[in-house]
Structure 1
């Protein structure tokens, strides 16, 4: 029977009986099929259609592609009957969120995991642990979401791989070990970081007596029991299932059945049904492997579980043995209907031994709900563990409540006096006509009969009028007398209003209006319609309560039911819900609170950086306003997309990948802008860098080091001497990995200086960057590690003391380029000292500003003038690193030393000094670019890490496609027990468009790639290279017929940006030479 909305609403106030869970997995591992089976148990869809209707995939393109693109939620009702001393039934509300598995939509995984307390981690037992399995499991552990492992598609081991029960057992053990390795690695890394920081903090607290720490370091590094974090079937946190066939079980269900038959305690049998445990058939004793003494016994999991599954599939699927099927049906008292649907539900060959009353235990929904209820926490149990990590993300320990506000927050207080605190994880768009308040009203049977009677009466009147118009008044009067005009008018007004409203609704369907609903989780209090609350943006700081905050009135509250929304009047704490009225107040995510004295929950981190750019323009220029409005709506509706307006005025969107880009363009055309849009070729970012050249390469001036440039301003009042040097690879990678650390330090400097942290330039610089380290170091840790990296680089004379002389990083103050001060008579406070001063609670004394080394006295005009132009030099460096000389792309991996700076300006000449600031900026920029070109320039390509699973017969085709796309194979591994090869490759982003479609076409759909942005890699080709030696000229000719890939990329970018390129233009085609002349 379908579950009523009132039942779900009633359970929302029972916090202990609520479970907020999400389903996470690699693409095509069965998430949506599992969701369908759970929905069928609530009567939302037919059990016949489970796995095919894909109910939670509400978008048309989701149905077409067969993949989930948006996280969607639904509330389900389940009743659990507990048999003990006395029977009792508990009702549970399961708020289920289905998330995408495709890497392009990893931001939706972050959305789902932030709102939930538990997660079902699905693994296809044939494909095993894949790339996205690592990602989603890591995301769940970071968010402190408790996971349950689901080993899905066990039927494929029988029907496709044809494994024996023993082989399948070994295969399942290996998959479980792989998943536990991921968990253990994450846990060990987190523990080492925590213990390291605790050790450093302890040393800092006891600076007087360090001996105590040296004598007893073991007191600080304590051992911890990590056995409870791993997946183990005997603990109940592993579910074995086939979602498509509708069955699932846990080890404890079989232990309950066999405990009485084997006369063994259920708890003991639960521990030995998984692993290397064997049953001695004569004595009924349980043996370990070392006690077998050569006897060929089968593990208990094989004997009591897998063999029964294999027997049933052999009878029903593989051989269609009617005799065995009839035995199964007779033993279980099942109908043939259930057999055809495989809803004999894993009673398997226990059929001859167990009671038919146990059969429902093996239906998929029963097994999963028991696992969810017993293994995953309620909001009241989860919030004391999860919320401290959200409020204090950099703390190493679980913080206890510091005040009454936090106490009510942690305890999931649903009282009226509790503060309202909710987190909006994302905004999603819904056509206004689909909202409950605009939905067509359903007529009752009585109303339908009355409307039909009225229509029949009207038809009779029309027929009468057509016969005789002379009797029209009499006929009307007669009808009026029969139907009582007053009552008839009233009925028509009340009951035909539904028709009128429908007509109005039909008229509204042409309207492109989209309503934005917040996907939220309430942590404390009760939220009601009409209530006034505060919306706190991602940049909200409680120290400045009036910034990034606004007041709203809650217009609507919704119960999430997949494709449908249901109106609510109030929502208690612990629930996931939808909220209306946030348009114009919240862009993508944020916090809702009844007070501004509220912690700002950290925004969800994007695992996939938006890397693919395209420029958009309307096909009809007059429709530009619709395009701009559509882009605004798209930016709010999609948590990963970025919308930019470039300096040229182009409207650009950034997407995570090709599939994500296609979805965004479809939404623009069909939902948000509703116009024809012209799309440019994908704009892929490059980086410009320099490579060391051979010592034999001649210098322009033997007395000047390579990369050193001396340049004067146009007015000749200032002369700069700049030297460019390639940054060692290890340091470049270090800066690239810790870009968030640099940003946090610049933010702190800005906050100390102006009281604000509106660093939009840095936020833009981080777009399209693969953030490889989510951990943010403190200032001392960062500089200490940076010094160690420079020590590893060698050339001690060049890099000695460089950390204390760093002027700035660039571009946008956070990139992997460094400006270093080496002017002999100019001393400024280094970037390191600025950062340390910003993080100190008290202001440094004025004497500490520039007293590390004495500055030349005031009589030296050069030193005084250089200090006044300090910011101009810095700005010129930022301009140069933002736009390199090759094709105007950002630089990466270059160190610029300012060796000399001379200024000859009269202090009283104010006009010259004001003009000189701008001249120094442009001169510094041009000097940096020219010094860059003194080395051997290189382009760095954005690269995808590509994972492909393919069978042996299509392996060669996969290699051919990757090679044609300029990719390279990194590794190839055969998955044991299967015919699948796991291929890991690197593929340039610029060559990746159409790659997925091509590889699926060439392999007839057998191979499907997963592309994850992995960073930038140097293309080891000089874009300016031409053949010069006799050998090169002989092999390649003067024109160098071999394609110079770096030059091709460089010219394509320059052409797109309107920059000069060397290209011969044919003026008179008829005057060209031919071979005959």
Structure 2
């Protein structure tokens, strides 16, 4: 392969038909970075000797130490591709993004998929499809990115396991079928048929470590010439039960340096008109400055970070729409609080937290009412990496870190045992509310967007009526609001009949509902899975006496009272854990799970190996130190992978003195500097 210059790269950027933007996605340790190294070596950026060990796209020191990719890294590769007839070579530009495989960094995968047109799914042919393979494939299909498959580590089949050709074929076919099952499950009908098939050329086989690979098309081309048939026909025969008888993607304009651009975020107030200082080409651990970049390429822009909090839209158009926000497959459920060791370092820490929030698409940095700075990530490793980045790069100061804590959700177990009343401060308005639990499936459907606020109203009403037995009228016109953050799994439903001026207070009720569901009465955690029915309202005839100040406080108090009269409880987040270990280490796995309230629900023997694949549920609050404990219990033979799965109601009654639930709630209240006692219904409920 020839070495290339930035000028050559810039020339080919104008030929948009010859540009391919793709990301490499896979389960952890299935060989993405090693395969990427081989591709980078073929493009002439690193030497053949370094390929495989260099991990060129692992640009951080901790990535090299741990042997795990943490951040998505882009690199532009110049390739010359032979024409069909083998004459001449057409230059192509491949914008390749290597993404992490560890579940804690799934948000990096979503970000990588958002700017690429295709995804190469790497599957270890020995291990087959794993839990994270399914997660990243689902993310790719949600982003409408077409997948192709690379069956990796074929060298292990030949050298380690010394498998027969027929057994290898069965192993490959099994991996391909499993990938296609995932694609069929999550496929978007707008994309058409995106299933991967070797006879279509969408599956490749090879070894990233040894730097070789092939598709059926390559061999079909050789044999088609020999046998005098068309290549396409030959490809159909190269896969399946066929035997031969031995006898016979920037958007649509250039981005020049210095050009004025508009930075859009969610509302018109967030619009800024600014100049881009520089355009930069990403080359793994280095960058190359470039004058301008045509459409269809990946590019880094300098000088816009101060206007973008996490993601935004950059455009020259006056009336552009925002590009849709990214939807992540994981939730930030593990929190730690940070406090500057030296008081004078506080401004540094605050500035560092802002930078950290921008650099990681998923991390959430908040300031509690007590003044505590809280960092929320999706797992122990994610939070650990965020804290390291904050200390070494963004804040560059020492700080004290609290023990990790878990986010809970407040919910109810039954319908309110009375209609709750709250009066406005001027005593002229009354709000009557009741709370009832929502089906767990419905809560999940709202969070997934199937029946959320952005779903098609007709489709939403149809699902609510047919699947969840809602009244047609209520499903079509009576849902006022979702919350918190206008898309959470709580609802306000109008159950009133013939109330005057009702529509005038709708906005105020919705605002109070958002406020209430963000900080519930038990311990100021978000509410989840509660439907609030507005039973009745009594309003003053004069509009000046029923403004926001008169309606919002009683509505919030009434929501709290409705929750407290409906058998309130807490929900805790639960991980799905997939563990791969030998049969003899199973007792250690079960012991470790039992000590941490874990529950094993599936056990599969992996064909052709002594390994067992175990699936279990583990509460997130019990997951701290789990990996180390499991390795210790199994002498390092078990390999776990945790991914957030669902929310689960905690057993017990919080209103019962001395119960475990009361203890937990009081602990959270103490941590948040709230009054260390259970909330009393009388604080929120008014009498007639």
TM-score grouping bracket, smaller chain normalisation: 0.7 to 0.9
- Aligned equivalents of 2:501, 2:356: Cα separation in 1: 47
- Aligned equivalents of 1:962, 1:275: Cα separation in 2: 42
Match in the other structure for 2:458:
780
When residues 586 and 828 of structure 1 are mapped into structure 2, their CA distance, relative to the original with a 3 A threshold, is same
* Cα deviation digits, residues 664-723 of structure 1 (max 9, x gap): 111111111110011222232212222249xxxxxxxxxxx8234456678876666544
SS of residue matched to 2:64:
helix
Match among 224, 245, 253 for residue 525 of structure 1: 253
- Aligned equivalents of 1:737, 1:828: Cα separation in 2: 34
Match in the other structure for 1:1059:
674
Aligned residues: 677
Q: Do 1:26 and 1:133's aligned partners in 2 also have CA atoms closer than 8 Å?
A: yes
Q: Do 1:535 and 1:586's aligned partners in 2 also have CA atoms closer than 8 Å?
A: no
Question: Does residue 502 of structure 2 align to residue 791 of structure 1?
Answer: no
TM-score (norm 1): 0.58
Write out aligned runs for 1:760-775 (5 A). Answer: none
Question: Does residue 372 of structure 2 align to residue 741 of structure 1?
Answer: no
Question: Does residue 417 of structure 2 align to residue 706 of structure 1?
Answer: yes
Deviation at 1:68, TM superposition (A): 0.7
- Aligned equivalents of 1:175, 1:782: Cα separation in 2: 36
When residues 184 and 813 of structure 1 are mapped into structure 2, their CA distance, relative to the original with a 3 A threshold, is closer
- Aligned equivalents of 1:815, 1:258: Cα separation in 2: 58
Write out aligned runs for 1:612-761 (5 A). Answer: 612-692=334-414, 706-709=417-420, 722-738=433-449, 741-742=452-453
Q: Do 1:20 and 1:116's aligned partners in 2 also have CA atoms closer than 8 Å?
A: yes
Question: Does residue 280 of structure 2 align to residue 558 of structure 1?
Answer: yes
Write out aligned runs for 1:913-928 (5 A). Answer: 922-928=553-559
Question: How large is the Cα RMSD of the aligned pairs?
Answer: 3.4
Match among 582, 588, 610 for residue 979 of structure 1: 610
When residues 534 and 718 of structure 1 are mapped into structure 2, their CA distance, relative to the original with a 3 A threshold, is closer
Match in the other structure for 2:189:
190
- Aligned equivalents of 2:283, 2:424: Cα separation in 1: 67
- Aligned equivalents of 1:922, 1:4: Cα separation in 2: 65
Match among 210, 214, 217 for residue 249 of structure 1: 214
Match in the other structure for 1:753:
none
Q: Do 1:739 and 1:815's aligned partners in 2 also have CA atoms closer than 8 Å?
A: no
Deviation at 1:996, TM superposition (A): 2.6
Q: Do 1:786 and 1:803's aligned partners in 2 also have CA atoms closer than 8 Å?
A: no
Match in the other structure for 1:538:
265
Deviation at 1:807, TM superposition (A): 5.2
Match in the other structure for 1:361:
none
When residues 906 and 562 of structure 1 are mapped into structure 2, their CA distance, relative to the original with a 3 A threshold, is closer
* Cα deviation digits, residues 1011-1069 of structure 1 (max 9, x gap): 2223321112223446xxxxxxxxxxxx8xxxx54234223212212234469xxxxxx
Write out aligned runs for 1:312-351 (5 A). Answer: none
- Aligned equivalents of 1:163, 1:965: Cα separation in 2: 40
Question: Does residue 198 of structure 2 align to residue 233 of structure 1?
Answer: yes
Match in the other structure for 1:350:
none
- Aligned equivalents of 1:277, 1:676: Cα separation in 2: 66
- Aligned equivalents of 1:145, 1:821: Cα separation in 2: 40
Deviation at 1:562, TM superposition (A): 1.0
* Cα deviation digits, residues 901-924 of structure 1 (max 9, x gap): 567x8979x9xx58x986765555
Deviation at 1:54, TM superposition (A): 0.8
SS of residue matched to 1:648:
coil
When residues 162 and 83 of structure 1 are mapped into structure 2, their CA distance, relative to the original with a 3 A threshold, is closer
SS of residue matched to 2:455:
coil
When residues 235 and 548 of structure 1 are mapped into structure 2, their CA distance, relative to the original with a 3 A threshold, is same
Question: Does residue 36 of structure 2 align to residue 35 of structure 1?
Answer: yes
SS of residue matched to 1:947:
strand
* Cα deviation digits, residues 732-783 of structure 1 (max 9, x gap): 44444448832xxxxxxxxxxxxxxxxxxxxxxxxxxxxxxxxx42223323
Deviation at 1:57, TM superposition (A): 0.4
Write out aligned runs for 1:348-363 (5 A). Answer: none
Match in the other structure for 1:1002:
633
Match in the other structure for 1:944:
575
Q: Do 2:461 and 2:475's aligned partners in 1 also have CA atoms closer than 8 Å?
A: no
- Aligned equivalents of 1:874, 1:266: Cα separation in 2: 63
Write out aligned runs for 1:270-419 (5 A). Answer: 270-282=235-247, 284=248
TM-score (norm 2): 0.88
When residues 604 and 875 of structure 1 are mapped into structure 2, their CA distance, relative to the original with a 3 A threshold, is closer
Match in the other structure for 1:58:
59
Match in the other structure for 2:686:
none
SS of residue matched to 1:278:
coil
Deviation at 1:2, TM superposition (A): 4.3
Match in the other structure for 1:8:
9
Deviation at 1:89, TM superposition (A): 2.4
When residues 186 and 83 of structure 1 are mapped into structure 2, their CA distance, relative to the original with a 3 A threshold, is closer
Give unmatched runs, 5+ long, in structure 2: 679-688
* Cα deviation digits, residues 155-195 of structure 1 (max 9, x gap): 222444453222221121111111122223334x526xx9x
When residues 538 and 801 of structure 1 are mapped into structure 2, their CA distance, relative to the original with a 3 A threshold, is closer
Match in the other structure for 1:368:
none
Q: Do 2:445 and 2:452's aligned partners in 1 also have CA atoms closer than 8 Å?
A: no
- Aligned equivalents of 2:550, 2:569: Cα separation in 1: 29
When residues 827 and 894 of structure 1 are mapped into structure 2, their CA distance, relative to the original with a 3 A threshold, is farther
Write out aligned runs for 1:843-858 (5 A). Answer: none
Match in the other structure for 1:206:
none
Match in the other structure for 2:646:
1015
When residues 925 and 978 of structure 1 are mapped into structure 2, their CA distance, relative to the original with a 3 A threshold, is same
Question: Does residue 124 of structure 2 align to residue 124 of structure 1?
Answer: yes
Q: Which range is displaced more, 168-177 or 818-827?
A: 818-827
Deviation at 1:612, TM superposition (A): 2.2
- Aligned equivalents of 2:23, 2:343: Cα separation in 1: 44
When residues 589 and 922 of structure 1 are mapped into structure 2, their CA distance, relative to the original with a 3 A threshold, is closer
